[in-house]
Amino acid sequence: MKDQTWIVVWLFNLLNEITENKLQKILNEAALEGYLTQSAADNGISHSLGFLLFKPETKTFLTSETLAVDLGTGGGLPGIVLSALTECKWFLLDRKKRRSEFLQWAVKELELTRKVTVIEEDAANFAHSNYRHKASFVTARSFAVPGVTAECAAPLLISGGYLVVSEPPHSVDRWPVSGLDKLGLKKDAHWEHNSASFQSLILNDVIEGKFPRKFSSIEKSPLF
């Protein structure tokens, strides 16, 4: 990818305004609750910044009119951090009640209730809601294997929308064209930020029909 140092500088300036200490307190609390490892909490803010390096015009792409969705937010990464750093509206999805309650507390602590909604829901079910093909940006960290993540995310995206996934260390190509084609997705870019890897995919074609299947079916027989 092209050098995007200016984006990181802009984000850190914004982070100072919304108080890094408050975010770190929330991530530390998530670690105490068992939703994150302490290492993930310690590196969570920096790691989350990496999700925003998917295109040079991030600042103008993620406007107050944009809808973003974080799949399986859990302890707050990256959704809580990104919702504090961007102007867009966010849906933070998690199917577990306790984690959803934790996220609701975090949103109130950060005074983000105006633009952030926590949804206690299975991601596959949510993709069949009124918000199908309404999101410009979908993120996922440790959500599921690629085939499951892609099938849950693609139906949420508008045409031209982006899915950004954090990749495991030393991962090989995990996104086969044959599988992505079934969902209308196309690989966009791969980059590293602070020793973490990220992959972006773009929705080229809106595929109507059965996707996503029930989550249990997706896990049992992923597209790839």
State how far the Cα of 216 lies from the Cα of 2, in Å rounded to an integer: 39
Residue with tokens 């961007």: 86
CATH number reported for the structural domain that contains residue 188 in this entry:
3.40.50.150
Convert the pLDDT of each residue in 111-147 to its tens digit.
999 999 999 999 999 999 999 999 999 999 999 999 9
Number of domains in the chain: 1
Contact yes or no for 122/211 (Cβ under 8 A): no
Average pLDDT score over the chain? 93
Residue type, 223: L
CA distances from 27 to 56, 71, 128 (A): 28, 17, 31
The separation between the first and the last C-alpha atoms of the chain, rounded to the nearest angstrom, is: 26
Convert the pLDDT of each residue in 172-209 to its tens digit.
889 999 999 999 999 999 999 989 999 999 999 998 87
What's 170's DSSP letter? T
For residue 10 the two structure tokens come to 């802009």
Domain that holds residue 177: 5-220
Binned at pLDDT 50, 70 and 90, residue 210 comes out as confident
Q: Which of 147, 112, 145, 117 is nearest to 131 (CA)?
A: 117
